[in-house]
Amino acid sequence: MDDNDFQPSVAMRDYLAEIYRLQEDAPTVSTTSLADRLHVSAPAVPRMLKRLRNAGYVIHKPYQGIELTPRGREEALRALRRHRILEVFLVNVMGFTWDEAHEHADEMGRGLNDAITERMAEMTNHPTRCPHGEPIPNAEGVLPEVKDVCIMNLTVGHVGVISRVRTHDPERLKYFKTLGLVPGAHFEIMGRAPFNGPMRLRVGREDVVLGIELTKSLWVE
């Protein structure tokens, strides 16, 4: 069988998608961070990485980390497209809340194929962002350009719009929702304590105060 005809398993796709997510914030990914994000045991990661490396999806540099190859990136983007379109479908069509979408998409996405994915994309008007604001690759595997920054990097007086809420934690997502901090929400930074202290934001007519851990999840335009 030609290498190009090889189809990754569901578990392999899960790993590739998570490596891609982690690589957005760092050039290489550690086995420890990968195990934590996928909720698997530390010994399981090297076994899967060996399979991914043999299939040409990743490069594993000892003492440095894991990187996707161009082929691995292509598969990762395909997996992300399926997952994020399914999240949109779960929220917009099936009525689930944004804090429920990721976990359900993880479970349901294991049996998803490209034909079903494209039908869901049609039914949701070909979305370009998931409910949490993450960009959705198009059918050719190209991500829409997103120019945003973490709100932690901004100073008092900045105004803007929430672009992405980068957490899968359901309780945090519920809390952000109660504060009105969702993609598309307008904000102004009203105050900030020194040494990475709490940040005070105006959202609509309300002022809200966020600690450093929560501000890490907010990416803004």
With respect to residue 181, please indicate whether it lies within any of the assigned structural domains: yes
Domain end point (choices 72, 98, 129)? 72
* Residue % of the chain over a pLDDT of 70: 97
Half-sphere exposure of 202 (CA within 13 A, CB side): 10
With respect to residue 136, please indicate whether it lies within any of the assigned structural domains: no
The range of the structural domain enclosing residue 64 comes to: 3-72
184 Rama class: left (phi>0) / alpha (psi -120 to 50) / beta: left
With respect to residue 94, please indicate whether it lies within any of the assigned structural domains: no
Mean pLDDT of the chain: 92
pLDDT digits (tens, 9 = 90+) for 25-60: 887 888 889 999 888 888 889 899 999 999 999 998
pLDDT digits (tens, 9 = 90+) for 191-220: 999 888 899 999 989 999 999 999 999 999
Domain end point (choices 37, 72, 107)? 72
CATH of the domain at 178: 2.30.30.90
Phi/psi at 66 (5° precision)? -115, 140
With respect to residue 129, please indicate whether it lies within any of the assigned structural domains: no
Which residue has better confidence, 61 or 66?
A: 66
Write down the pTM of the prediction.
0.89
Domain end point (choices 51, 72, 93)? 72
Q: How many structural domains does the chain have? A: 2
CA pair distance 204, 76, nearest whole angstrom: 37
